[in-house]
Amino acid sequence: MTDSKTIPDRPVLRLKPKANARAIRRGAPWVFDNELVMDRRSKALAPGSIATLEDGERKPLATVAVNPGSRIVARVLDRDATVVVDRHWLAARLRKALSLREAAYDAPFYRLVHAEGDGLPGLVIDRFGDTCVMQPNAAWAEAHLEILTDALVEVTGVTNVLKNAAGRGRTLEGLDDVDAVLRGAAPEAPVPVEMNGATYMADLTGGQKTGLFYDQRENHGFAARLARGHSVLDVFSHVGGFALAALAGGANSALAVDGSAPALTLAAEGARRMGASDRFSTRQGDAFDTLEALAGEDTRFDLVICDPPAFAPNKAALEKGLRAYERVARLAAPLVAEDGYLVLCSCSHAADLNAFTGACLRGIGRSGRRAQLLHTGFAGPDHPLLPQLAESGYLKALVFRL
């Protein structure tokens, strides 16, 4: 394809002779600084520039987005080196992403763009009806924000587009932390979102991330089936993720534990709207301290869920993170009634499934409990994995019977 088309007049990046060009041809999305010929001209490219990537023999490989200040200097946008990244190209990618979500979900509440998984590296877009919250976590997305917003409105018909600048990756890309309204207006109140029969209140401007974690939708539903007629403890609950789904599934009671008072207030409002306030309670505090306190109160639950933040967001934090997951399992397991269920989750990129499972089993074992592993859950179809990028499959949920 490349040989029969004209390569756009733009900067060129070239792989070192021993770099793995085959990996790029097979779908690898990232090119690191040590794989490229970083001469003075390459280092001077503006963050967010679009360039042509060549192999060591100067043959065009792909169209890439460039950030010389990042360890990931080049992100593959298209394996066709002849494309022009403009509003039309962006709209085509967004239409592909939208078609998948419309096939999977009946209502427009989902992750619309899952970065590399949807061919838009570093870009996350969550949709809440007529509002989209965008996290441009790569320099190219920030540099193309205006036409990206235009394309998003064109494809989806949303009236409001918000920029959330809280993504951890923005710091690594040298980007600001300033939120913005890109189109329309920000909602004046939290947005109700229906999932698995539960009502969640999403704060799109003051909440964590984009306001709601869509990635646990499938795992919420699985846990809810186990909760029918039982008592539930949801630790690190945010706005009531597992707890509210459990109540919708017929749980007798649910206690939500989180360090954030505003998040628990939103959770309580969700329970009220569901007509489940009489079965729902909250407890604000440090999760580890609360788990220890509940054990001291000789409290037991039929279903305990722990869905902590990323304890191992990178390789440097892996060992410390695995110890934290082990501690969560060790403290949570004694709170599970005999023949009850324990759900342990990880959203850490650096901790793969085997490492996370091992940490959980060590913690359960050290608590003196025996476990059956019933189910391993992942993110839903609005979080598609790029098979060549293990990091795109970050979410793991393990369901044990103790």
CA dihedral 383, 384, 390, 395 (to 10 degrees): 30
DSSP string computed for 347-397:
--SSS-HHHHHHHHHHHHHHTT---EEEEEE---TTS---TT-GGGG--EE
**Token pair for residue 377?**
């859950």
**Under DSSP, is residue 100 helix (H, G, I), strand (E, B) or coil?**
helix
For 153, the 3-state DSSP assignment is: helix
8 A C-beta contact, residue 193 and residue 200: yes
Helix orientation angle between 87-104 and 145-156, rounded to the nearest 10 degrees: 40
- Does 347 qualify as catalytic in the annotation? yes
Cβ atoms within 10 Å, residue 88: 12
- Of 132, 306, 347, 360, the catalytic one is 347
Which amino acid, one-letter code, is at 154? E
- Is the CB of residue 67 less than 8 Å from the CB of residue 81? no
Q: How far apart are CA 273 and CA 251, in angstroms?
A: 16
**Distance between the two ends of the chain, CA-based, in angstroms?**
56
| Cβ count within 10 A of residue 139 | 24
- Positions annotated as catalytic residues are 347
